Amino acid sequence: MPQTPAQTLPHDTDVLIIGSGAAGLAMALRLPDHLEVLIISKGALVGGSTPWAQGGIAAALGGTEDLEQHIEDTIRAGARLPKRDVVERIVRAGPAQIAWLESLEMPFTHDQEHPDRLHLTREGGHSRRRVAHAADHTGRSLTETLVNAVKARSNITVLEHHNAIDLITARRLGETQDACLGAYVLDIKADRVVTIRSRHTTLATGGAAKAYLFTTNPDGATGDGIAMGWRAGCRVANMEFIQFHPTCLYEPRAKSFLISEAVRGEGGVLLRPDGTRFMPEHHPDAELAPRDIVARAIDAEIKRLGIDCVYLDISFKGREFIETHFPMIHRRCLEFGYDMTREPLPVVPAAHYTCGGVMVDEHAQTDIPGLFAIGETSHTGLHGANRLASNSLLECLVTAEDAARRVAELPSAPPPQASAAIPPWDESQVTDPDEAVVVTHNWDELRRSLWSYVGIVRTTKRLYRARDRINLLRREIHDYYAHFRVSNNLIELRNLVEIADLIVRSALTRHESRGLHYSKDFPDTNPRADHFNTVLVPAPARPYPQVRDRGRSTPLQD
């Protein structure tokens, strides 16, 4: 039955958090008890990319020297593009974040010889061991820890199976002074749109690696927060820097199962099909080089030899070592017929992490008052042109605390723009989709175009080809959105095409090769561009139209 405005259920809350990964959950827990917090989760509460994280949390627990080395490792991995003040602030907060998680009874792995100490592993780009972990399922354990703590808080409400469609801003309601007032959200199971009004809204939706055909990310990693922030009027930075994880299991049945960086950190080596190593020929740090270098080396070997994959071998460490350090990876690989205690694993690179995002300040605030962005959705300046391994969960935790602290400091009274009447979601001029197959086909074509033309190695010609295809898809998707009732798949596709456009526009702007962006037409790194971030500025958001000749009356970014 078509939904009418009268059926739209309003929600009011102090803080709306869009996303239920590590960043969103941590922020909710850091907020004062007197604030009413509403978390919306696209799927079940334990969803998102966090449970997929195997490696750990980078934290300099070895004192001053370790802190300084962690800072330098981060800047070096980011190809000199990270902002030093941001890196210093986030890295120095690492030990306190580990202590906070321990207070929540996070089950970190402890050193066998020194049970009072955490066991630390080393990953690519790190100059020493500093990655705290829970065996090889840190993300899953972190999620369980945070979820249990959230369930114990009476001021936090979670709406599962809800997907945000668009942010509600004062400027789009005709006000001269902008502010974020909440969001329109699809209740996926009930198939209805609800209006959520909030004094503070946070984008914590993770990254956008699902824009690529092959990815280590779950299906929900469709860049929702970045796309919504962009449409609302936020600047977006460094979207050309998409990190490809070097070692994704080459097995269609596994659906993008990544083999943790820690496998190489504990001695694993990369081999050609004939059993010879190749990483020493590409970088002095061999398998422990930064991810962009390892991914490009694997890509080069695959193309040079005309092979489907390379192999990652740690079998020489023995069964006991592997089953102790990598129990989940070992069990998962056995399900597909691969025994890593006896043989190498077939691996290929896959899109993994979005280093760019919505621009924020040191308080995680965006360009729009009342709107925050944290975790992978945000661009803090930490990662630069390439993320150092296991700095992602660290950034999630630190930016979550930054945002929560800022919200607690702000006046409790709502902004004056909140008095503006928020129109209910209007579906009176749209119909049920008549050919939903269009969404599926566009989704597939978009992801294949990104993989083929905007991958690990790029050329200007390929980028222009991608731009042309994306423009065609963008017009078709927006026309479809204007005429048919929204669905979860349509929301994600609309966001993905926005993300694809941002990636290509950013890549065309950078006339050099740096970090994760490697162009055959500009193979050198410009020494004068160490602090050059690719910043995209959106056109001013237009007010919601009051009357339209056709299609949706609210809200539509034409």
Domain end call among 317, 334, 350: 350
Domain end call among 350, 383, 405: 350
Among 41-45, 280-284, 318-322, 404-408, the minimum mean pLDDT is found in 41-45
Residue 506 predicted with pLDDT over 80: yes
pLDDT digits (tens, 9 = 90+) for 109-145: 998 888 889 999 888 789 999 999 998 788 889 999 9
Residues 80 and 203 in one domain: yes
Residues 85 and 223 in one domain: yes
CB atoms inside a 10 Å sphere around CB 253:
9
Q: Give the CATH number for residue 142.
A: 3.50.50.60
CA-nearest of 92, 88, 118 to 106 is 118
Q: Catalytic site residue 291?
A: yes
Q: Which of the four pLDDT bands, split at 50, 70 and 90, describes residue 10?
A: low
* Beta-bridge partners for 187: 162, 192
CB atoms inside a 10 Å sphere around CB 427:
21
pLDDT digits (tens, 9 = 90+) for 452-499: 899 999 999 999 999 999 999 999 999 889 888 999 999 999 999 999
Q: Is residue 98 part of a domain?
A: yes
CB atoms inside a 10 Å sphere around CB 185:
24
- When pLDDT is averaged across residues 530-535 and rounded to a whole number, the result is 90
Residues 248 and 133 in one domain: no
Residue 8 predicted with pLDDT over 50: no
Q: Is residue 362 part of a domain?
A: yes
Residues 519 and 488 in one domain: yes
Residues 408 and 510 in one domain: no
Q: Which of 291, 296, 462, 467 is catalytic?
A: 291
How far, in Å, are 291, 298, 376, 506 from residue 304 at the CA level?
A: 20, 10, 33, 28
> What's the rounded Cα separation, in Å, for the pair 95 and 102?
11
Residue 543 predicted with pLDDT over 90: no
Residue 554 predicted with pLDDT over 80: no
Determine the 3-state secondary structure of 65 from DSSP: helix
Q: Give the CATH number for residue 500.
A: 1.20.58.100
- When pLDDT is averaged across residues 250-265 and rounded to a whole number, the result is 83
How far, in Å, are 114, 115, 153, 328, 388 from residue 111 at the CA level?
A: 5, 5, 32, 19, 24
Q: Give the CATH number for residue 325.
A: 3.90.700.10
- When pLDDT is averaged across residues 491-512 and rounded to a whole number, the result is 96
Q: Is residue 551 part of a domain?
A: no
Total structural domains in the chain?
3
> What's the rounded Cα separation, in Å, for the pair 29 and 364?
16
Q: Is residue 549 part of a domain?
A: no
Hey, which bits of 407-498 come out as E strands? none
> What's the rounded Cα separation, in Å, for the pair 434 and 246?
41
Q: Is residue 533 part of a domain?
A: no
Backbone angles phi, psi at 531, to 5 degrees: -115, 20
Residue 50 predicted with pLDDT over 80: no
- When pLDDT is averaged across residues 321-339 and rounded to a whole number, the result is 93
Residues 190 and 274 in one domain: no
Give the chain's end-to-end CA distance (angstroms, integer).
Answer: 27
Share of the chain above pLDDT 90, in %: 70
Residues 269 and 220 in one domain: no
Task: Report which residue type is found at 237.
Answer: A
Taking the mean position of all CA atoms in its chain, how far away is CA 292? 17
Structure tokens at 372: 């925050």
Q: Is residue 536 part of a domain?
A: no
Q: Are 10 and 103 in contact (CB under 8 A)?
A: no
Q: Are 221 and 239 in contact (CB under 8 A)?
A: no
- When pLDDT is averaged across residues 434-445 and rounded to a whole number, the result is 82
Residue 359 predicted with pLDDT over 90: yes
CA-nearest of 352, 317, 87, 320 to 207 is 352
Q: Are 287 and 260 in contact (CB under 8 A)?
A: no
Q: Is residue 491 part of a domain?
A: yes
Structure tokens at 145: 């820890």
Residues 342 and 369 in one domain: no
Handedness of CA 257, 260, 266, 272 (dihedral sign): positive
CA-nearest of 152, 117, 204 to 397 is 204
Residue 556 predicted with pLDDT over 80: no
- How would you class 408 by CB atoms within 10 Å of its CB: exposed for 0-12, middle for 13-18, buried for 19 or more? middle
pLDDT in the model for residue 135: 82
Residue 224 predicted with pLDDT over 50: yes
- Within 8 A by CB and 6+ apart from 115, the residues are none
Q: Is residue 428 part of a domain?
A: no
> What's the rounded Cα separation, in Å, for the pair 366 and 373?
7
pLDDT in the model for residue 421: 75
Residues 379 and 252 in one domain: no
pLDDT in the model for residue 5: 36
Residue 549 predicted with pLDDT over 60: no
Residue 503 predicted with pLDDT over 80: yes
Determine the 3-state secondary structure of 403 from DSSP: helix
> What's the rounded Cα separation, in Å, for the pair 126 and 108?
20
Task: Report which residue type is found at 118.
Answer: L
pLDDT in the model for residue 54: 62
Residues 79 and 91 in one domain: yes
Mean pLDDT across the chain? 89
CB atoms inside a 10 Å sphere around CB 315:
16
Residues 360 and 381 in one domain: yes
Residues 96 and 116 in one domain: yes
Task: Report which residue type is found at 461.
Answer: K
Domain end call among 300, 324, 350: 350
Of the two residues 553 and 209, the one the predictor is more confident about is 209
* Beta-bridge partners for 33: none
Residue 196 predicted with pLDDT over 60: yes
Range of the domain at 296: 243-350
Residue 546 predicted with pLDDT over 70: no
